[in-house]
């Protein structure tokens, strides 16, 4: 069985500061990994995903994530936060061969002016 | 492409009432999912479908039923509403052929309040 742990239910940063949202996973087989973003009163949309190609994955809106197999991590970063980045972020893992992803509990990103 | 659409956007139910949450996708996706989202708990899978006529239980199926008579539609039925079913419900779809890195596409959600 797979699982996802997102450290920190809330992360607060100042505008212009580095954003780091942490995600650790467990999977018995090589996984596919995803970050989704949910803006207020909307559904989730894909930010980026790792599908066993490059370990550093670039997504939309300047976000990127690095797959580190030795650390079983897939942390999401952005060099400079914007006010518009305030949202809920979900990490998800899907083992190869499975059709059902498992989602983390989510991290709420708060951006201060 | 409208993507994934859900109706209604918001509903208040009394305990014991029934309702159907509608979900339609126009992307010809074979996989469809129903999730519920509760504060601080992430997404919990209720039911999913791998194609028309085939459905299976997820993590939290009790109190819900689904059907999939067409590729496009995947309604979720609540038979006897309980306060514990107060939540935000999301429908999603994806095209899956070999259990790879398929992206899920989500609808805007239905907010349900059971009183």
Candidate from A9, A36, A43 with C-beta closest to B109: A43
Candidate from B31, B40, B106 with C-beta closest to A99: B31
Percent of all residues in chain A with a pLDDT value above 70, rounded to a whole number:
100
CB contact under 8 A, B99 and A90: no
Closest chain B residue to A6, measured at CA: B42
pLDDT digit string, tens, across residues B33-52: 999 999 888 899 999 999 99
Nearest by Cα to B13 from B62, B84, B61, B74: B84
CB contact under 8 A, B108 and A43: yes
Distance CA B76, CA B46 (A): 9
Candidate from B4, B45, B100 with C-beta closest to A32: B100
Closest chain A residue to B107, measured at CA: A43
Closest chain A residue to B50, measured at CA: A99
Question: How high is the pLDDT of residue B111?
Answer: 96
Distance CA A107, CA B101 (A): 22
Query: In this structure, how many other beta carbons lie within 10 angstroms of the beta carbon of residue B32?
Result: 27
Q: What is the mean pLDDT of residues A77-84?
A: 97
Q: What is the mean pLDDT of residues A54-76?
A: 94
Residue A110, pLDDT above cutoff 70: yes
pLDDT digit string, tens, across residues A84-98: 999 999 999 998 778
Hey, CA dihedral for A89, A95, A101, A102, is it positive or negative? negative
Mutate which: B3, B32, B35, B43, vs A, most A CBs within 10 A: B43
Residue A58, pLDDT above cutoff 90: yes
Residue B99, pLDDT above cutoff 70: no
């Amino acid at each position: 069985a797979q699982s996802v742990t997102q450290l920190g239910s809330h992360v607060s940063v100042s505008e212009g500061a580095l954003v780091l949202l942490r995600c650790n996973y467990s999977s018995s087989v090589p996984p596919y990994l995803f970050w989704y973003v949910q803006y207020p009163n909307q559904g989730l949309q894909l930010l980026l995903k790792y599908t066993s190609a490059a370990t550093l994955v670039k997504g939309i809106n300047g976000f990127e994530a690095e797959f580190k197999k030795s650390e079983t991590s897939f942390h999401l970063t952005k060099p400079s936060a914007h006010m518009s980045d305030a949202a809920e972020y979900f990490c998800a893992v899907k083992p190869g061969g499975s059709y059902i992803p498992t989602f983390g509990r989510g991290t709420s990103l708060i951006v201060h002016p | 492409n409208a993507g994934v659409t859900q109706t209604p956007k918001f509903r208040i139910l009394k305990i014991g009432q029934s309702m159907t949450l509608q979900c339609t996708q126009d992307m010809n996706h074979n996989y469809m999912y129903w999730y519920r989202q509760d504060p601080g708990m992430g997404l919990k899978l209720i039911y999913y479908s791998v194609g028309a006529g085939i459905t299976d239980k997820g993590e939290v199926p009790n109190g819900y039923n689904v059907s999939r008579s067409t590729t496009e539609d995947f309604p979720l039925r609540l038979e006897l509403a309980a306060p514990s079913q107060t939540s935000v419900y999301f429908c999603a779809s994806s095209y899956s052929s070999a259990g790879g890195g398929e992206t899920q596409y989500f609808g805007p959600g239905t907010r349900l309040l059971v009183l």
